Homo-oligomer: A and B are copies of this chain.
Amino acid sequence: MLQETPGGATDSLQQIPMTAETGYVVGADIGGTSLRLAIAGMDGKVVAKWKASTTGVRDPNVVVGLIDEGVESLFKQNFLPRSSLRAFAAGAPGVTDVDAGIVIATSYLMGWRDVPLRALLEARLGVPAAVENDVNTAAIAESKIGAAQGIRDFVFLAVGTGIGAGIVLNGKLFHGMDWSAGEIGYLLVPGTSVAPVETGEPGALESIVGGEGIKAQWQTAWNKDITDLSKDLVATEIFDHALNGDALAQTVLRKSAETLAYAIYNLAVVLNCPMFVLGGSVGMHPALWSTTRDILAQRDKRVQPKLLRSTLGPDAQVNGAIHLAIEAASSRVLSR
């Protein structure tokens, strides 16, 4: 059930008259706690944004209904005719078959299995739609308008609750044969557990580097005799305290950055990839970025991947979806 304003809040950046010959697209980022939408012209320029809570919302049909409300709101509030919507695209938080338009599996938070999201969206919105994994939509955006503009080979690393990678090789997203390439939360590096991971459990890498893993590190190490800080801190707060000199927080930061650096090093070796872009709510923290970058720089001279911070932040996913929607407008014919 929706716990915030069902209609969400329209954040109208500017009002632009409809361009009948070109029209508009809407991109979406479907997350476990929020749904973000943005309407843009066919040049990809964002006209307005919209956001609603998805806390407790799990049924795909309800999510699609909420998306429809958001689209309607964006058009109304910007005085645009809904008929000028040309296409729609969404980033979904899970393994997504882009060709079939199906979300194969999301984490336990959403619990989706084989959801025909594209068909649901096209039936509801009446325009061509595209779906993609949300980390991949963010990678697309970083490649088009963000930190990796014009770079043909790079990996976008999203560190939030967990960790995922969007791999761009030779200018194209690399999906893998079952659409699950880049699910790097499961990587085994020095310092991670080697115990087999049950389905639905966090992977070995994200148990240390993901937001939840960083919190768990803190709670395990926490002791009132060695720090004045609260036992209940989230990852970004722990990193803030590390920057402010708390020794325990610095230890957690160091361990997180080291583990992340090993994973990046491995990806650089296997993929022969020279550039990594760090994003996601935890990954955007400057302390994680700079510490990881310094650890990488102290490793082999032979393998020296560049580590950048995302320039788009929380807007990356929606911006990538906008790009996919523009593509869908010209390439997809509505099947109904």
List A residues at the B interface (Cβ < 8 Å): 152-153, 165, 167, 169-170, 174-184, 186-192, 194, 196-199, 258, 262, 265-267, 269-274, 298-303
Q: Quick check: A190 and B187 within 8 Å, CB to CB? A: no
One of B176, B189, B194, B274 near A271 (C-beta < 8 A): B176
Q: Quick check: B190 and A273 within 8 Å, CB to CB? A: no
Given contacts A165-B270, A181-B272, A189-B190, 8 further A-B contacts (CB under 8 A): A153-B177, A176-B271, A176-B273, A180-B272, A181-B271, A183-B269, A187-B270, A188-B189
Looking at the assembled complex, report how far the CB atom of A269 sits from the nearest CB atom of chain B, in whole angstroms. 5
In whole angstroms, what is the CA distance A171 to B303 when docked? Answer: 27
User: Given the known A-B contacts A180-B272, A270-B267, A272-B177, are A299 and B189 also in contact in the complex, defined by CB atoms under 8 Å?
Assistant: no
One of B192, B194, B198, B303 near A186 (C-beta < 8 A): B303
Top 4 A-B residue pairs of the complex, sorted by shortest distance between their CB atoms: A176-B272, A181-B272, A153-B177, A196-B299
Looking at the assembled complex, report how far the CB atom of A191 sits from the nearest CB atom of chain B, in whole angstroms. 7
Which residues of B sit under 8 angstroms from A153, Cβ to Cβ?
176-177
In whole angstroms, what is the CA distance A315 to B105 when docked? Answer: 42
User: Given the known A-B contacts A265-B188, A269-B186, A273-B177, are A300 and B152 also in contact in the complex, defined by CB atoms under 8 Å?
Assistant: no
Looking at the assembled complex, report how far the CB atom of A45 sits from the nearest CB atom of chain B, in whole angstroms. 31
Please name the residue on chain B nearest to A178 by beta carbon.
B272
Looking at the assembled complex, report how far the CB atom of A151 sits from the nearest CB atom of chain B, in whole angstroms. 10
- Grouping DSSP codes into helix (H, G, I), strand (E, B) and loop, the A interface class, with mixed when no group exceeds half, is loop
Q: Quick check: A192 and B194 within 8 Å, CB to CB? A: no
In whole angstroms, what is the CA distance A270 to B182 when docked? Answer: 5
One of B170, B174, B184, B299 near A269 (C-beta < 8 A): B184
A-B contact pairs, 27 of them (CB 8 A): A152-B177, A153-B176, A153-B177, A167-B270, A169-B174, A176-B272, A176-B273, A177-B272, A177-B274, A178-B272, A182-B270, A183-B269, A186-B269, A187-B266, A188-B265, A188-B266, A189-B189, A190-B191, A190-B192, A194-B262, A196-B298, A197-B299, A198-B300, A198-B301, A199-B300, A199-B302, A266-B266
In whole angstroms, what is the CA distance A183 to B272 when docked? Answer: 8
Looking at the assembled complex, report how far the CB atom of A286 sits from the nearest CB atom of chain B, in whole angstroms. 24
Looking at the assembled complex, report how far the CB atom of A87 sits from the nearest CB atom of chain B, in whole angstroms. 27
Which residues of B sit under 8 angstroms from A303, Cβ to Cβ?
186
Q: Quick check: B196 and A272 within 8 Å, CB to CB? A: no
Which of A174, A258, A265, A270 gathers the greatest number of chain B CB atoms within 10 Å?
A: A270
In whole angstroms, what is the CA distance A175 to B153 when docked? Answer: 12
Q: Quick check: A302 and B190 within 8 Å, CB to CB? A: no
Looking at the assembled complex, report how far the CB atom of A317 sits from the nearest CB atom of chain B, in whole angstroms. 21
Which residues of B sit under 8 angstroms from A194, Cβ to Cβ?
190, 258, 262
In whole angstroms, what is the CA distance A182 to B272 when docked? Answer: 8
Please name the residue on chain B nearest to A182 by beta carbon.
B270
In whole angstroms, what is the CA distance A189 to B268 when docked? Answer: 14
One of B170, B197, B267 near A302 (C-beta < 8 A): B197
Q: Quick check: A199 and B301 within 8 Å, CB to CB? A: yes
Please name the residue on chain B nearest to A265 by beta carbon.
B188
Which residues of B sit under 8 angstroms from A184, Cβ to Cβ?
269-270
In whole angstroms, what is the CA distance A178 to B273 when docked? Answer: 8
Which residues of B sit under 8 angstroms from A301, Cβ to Cβ?
198-199
